[in-house]
Structure 1
Amino acid sequence: MGASTSAESRVSAEQKEAEAVAASTGALPMLQKAFSKLANPETNAIPLENLKQCFSFGPSYSGSTVPDSFPVLLDHLGSSIVDQFFVLDKGGINWVEFVRGYNKCCARVSASVSLNMLMRVFVAISEAANVPLHLEFESGEADCKINGHLLPSHVFLLLSLCWVMSWGSTNAKREGNLSLPDLNHLVLSVITSCGQVESGFNVWGDCDVSSLEVQLPAGKFVTWVMSTVPCLPDCFRQYFHATLQMAATDGAELASSNSSSVGDTSSIAAYDCILTKGRAWAIYITQKSTVNENISRTFISNGSGMDDNLVYRSSTHGRGLGRFWSHVEGYKGPLLILIAASSGDAHEGNSVNRKWTIGALTDQGFENKDIFYGNSGCLYSVGPVFHVFPPTGKEKNFVYSHLHPTGKVYQPHPKPVGVAFGGTPGNERIFIDEDFAKVTVRHHAIDKTYRSGSLFPDQGFLPVEGLISEVEVWGLGGKVAKDVQNSYKKREELFTEQRRKVDLKTFASWEDSPEKMMMDMMSDPNAVRREDR
Structure 2
Amino acid sequence: MGNQVARVGNMSYRKMESATGNGNHGANVTASTAADVVSKSEPDDHTQFFPIDSLAKILSHLTYQEVHVNGITKSVFEKYLFPTHPELSEKLFTYFHHNAHATTAYISTTAFKQQSEKFLSVLNDQAILENYVKIYSDLKNTGNVTPESLRALLTSCFELAMENNNTSSCPPSQQILNAVVISCFHGKTSLSTSYVSNWIGQHCPRLVYGLQRYIVHVLTTAYRNGKTLLSKEQPQSSVDIKKVRALPVLEKSDQEFLQVDLLPISYVWLLSCALPQCYFKTKDAPKDITHALIAKRTGTICPKHWTLLYNSGEHGTGANRFLHHVLGYRGPTLLIIRAANVERNAECPTYCVCSAVEWRESHLYWGDEDSIGIQLIPSYKIMEKGPKVLYLNTNIRGYPHGLRFGSDPRSPLISIDESFHFVTIAGAPYSIASLEVWGCGDTKLREKQLEIKKWQVKEAEKQRVVKLSASDWLDHPDRYLLELAGRTSYNESNN
1:397–1:164 Cα change, 3 Å: same
Partner of residue 373, structure 1: 366
Give the match's secondary structure for 1:484.
Answer: helix
For 1:68-120, what per-residue CA distance to the aligned partner results, in whole angstroms no more than 9, with x for missing partners?
Answer: xxx641565897899999x969xx99xxx9xx95x95487x323311133245
**One-letter code of the match for 2:421?**
A
In the alignment, the residues of structure 2 paired with residue 334 and residue 432 of structure 1 have an alpha-carbon distance, to the nearest angstrom, of: 20
Which of 362, 366, 369 pairs up with 2:355?
362
Distance 1:116 1:303 in 2: 23
| Aligned equivalents of 2:264, 2:88: Cα separation in 1 | 24
Q: CA deviation at 1:325?
A: 0.9
Quick one: distance in 2 between partners of 1:221 and 1:81?
A: 18
Partners of 2:319 and 2:139 in 1: CA distance: 51
SS for the counterpart of 2:162 is helix
Q: Distance in 2 between matches of 1:47 and 1:225?
A: 36
Q: 2:206 aligns with which of 211, 231, 234?
A: 231
Q: 1:135 aligns with which of 109, 114, 139?
A: 139
Change in 2 beyond 3 A, CA 1:304/1:336? closer
C-alpha deviation, 1:366, in angstroms = 1.1
- Distance of 2:405 and 2:439 partners within structure 1: 18
| Secondary structure at 2:454 match in 1 | helix
User: Which of 360, 371, 382 is the equivalent residue of 1:388?
Assistant: 382
Q: Secondary structure at the match of 2:277?
A: coil
Q: How far did 1:421 drift?
A: 0.8
Checking the alignment, whether the CA contact within 8 Å between 1:260 and 1:304 is kept in structure 2 is no
Q: 1:337 to 1:7 in 2, by over 3 A?
A: closer
Counterpart residue number, 1:338: 336
TM-superposed deviation, 1:12:
5.9
SS of the residue aligned with 2:360?
coil
Distance 2:96 2:360 in 1: 51
- Residues 1:291 and 2:289 aligned together: no
Aligned twin of 1:468: 432
Of residues 455, 462, 476, the one that matches 1:491 is 455
Aligned with 1:419: secondary structure? strand
Deviations 1:266-288 (A, max 9, x none): 50536423532222222221244
| Deviation of the 1:46 alpha carbon | 8.8
In the aligned structure 1, how far is the partner of 2:16 from the partner of 2:376? 51
Quick one: which of 429, 432, 444 aligns to 1:480?
Answer: 444
Deviation at 1:489, TM superposition (A): 1.7
Give the distance between the partners of 1:380 and 1:78, measured in 2 at CA: 32
Structure 2: give runs of 5+ residues left out of the alignment. Answer: 1-8, 21-48, 63-75, 101-107, 225-232, 477-495
Instruction: Identify the match of residue 425 of structure 2 among 441, 449, 453.
Output: 441
| Contact 1:432/1:438 (<8 A) preserved | yes
CA contact 2:272–2:301 (8 Å) conserved in 1: no
AA aligned to 1:273 is: D
Taking the aligned partners of 1:15 and 1:183, their CA distance within structure 2 comes to: 55
**Aligned-partner Cα distance in 1 for 2:384–2:213:** 24
> Residues 231 and 286 of structure 1 are in contact (CA less than 8 Å); yes or no, is this contact kept in structure 2?
yes
Q: How many residues align?
A: 384
1:212-251 to structure 2, matched below 5 A, reads 214-240=189-215
Partners in 1 of 2:216 and 2:321 — Cα distance? 44
Residue 355 of structure 1 aligns to a residue in which SS? coil
Which residue in the other structure is 2:71 paired with? Answer: none
Distance in 1 of aligned mates of 2:17 and 2:95: 23
CA separation of 1:14 and 1:54: change in aligned 2, threshold 3 A? farther
Give the C-alpha shift of residue 383 in structure 1: 0.4
Query: In 2, distance between residues paired with 1:75 and 1:119?
Result: 15
1: CA distance, partners of 2:52 / 2:408 = 63
Change (3 A) 1:234 1:13: farther
What residue number does 1:451 align with? none
1:220 to partner: Cα distance: 2.6
AA at the equivalent of 1:508:
S
- Name the amino acid aligned to 1:374: G
In structure 1, what is the Cα distance between the partners aligned to 2:204 and 2:254? 28
* CA deviations over 1:315-335 (Å, ceiling 9, x no partner): 111111111111111111111
- What is the CA–CA distance in structure 2 between the aligned matches of 1:513 and 1:472, rounded to whole Å? 47
In the other structure, the counterpart of 1:114 is 128
Alignment correspondent of 1:276: 264
Letter matched to residue 232 of structure 1: L
CA distance in structure 2 between the aligned counterparts of 1:433 and 1:262, rounded to whole angstroms: 35
Deviations 1:32-55 (A, max 9, x none): xxx99x999xx9999447998885
Query: If the length of structure 2 is used for normalisation, what is the TM-score?
Result: 0.62
Counterpart for residue 419 of structure 1: 403
Deviations 1:346-403 (A, max 9, x none): xxxxx99873112211101210212211113111111011111342x5xx33211112
Q: Distance in 1 between matches of 2:175 and 2:347?
A: 17
Do 1:334 and 1:364's aligned partners in 2 also have CA atoms closer than 8 Å?
A: yes
1:315 aligned residue = 313
Other-structure match for 1:261 = 245
Letter in 1 for 2:146: L
In 1, Cα distance between equivalents of 2:240 and 2:346: 48
Please name the residue that 1:432 is paired with. Answer: 416
CA distance in 1, matches of 2:79, 2:19: 28
Matched residues in 2 for 1:56 and 1:113: separation? Answer: 23
Q: In 2, Cα distance between the equivalents of 1:479 and 1:403?
A: 28
Indicate if the aligned counterparts of 1:422 and 1:428 stay in contact, CA closer than 8 A. yes
Q: Which amino acid aligns with 2:390?
A: V
Q: Distance in 2 between matches of 1:403 and 1:221?
A: 42
SS in 2 for 1:112: helix
Paired amino acid for 1:222: S
8 Å Cα contact 1:149/1:218 also seen in 2:
yes
Q: How do residues 156-175 of structure 1 correspond to structure 2 at under 5 angstroms?
A: 156-168=151-163, 174=164
Alpha-carbon distance between aligned partners in 1 of 2:120 and 2:88, rounded to the nearest angstrom? 19
8 Å contact 1:229–1:282 — kept in the other structure?
yes
Residues 110-164 of structure 1 show CA distances to partners (whole Å, capped at 9, x for unaligned) of: 23311133245x35xxxxxxxxx52369xxxxxxxxx622222221111111112
Structure 2 CA distance for aligned equivalents of residues 16 and 363 of structure 1: 51
RMSD: 5.1
Identity across the alignment (%): 20
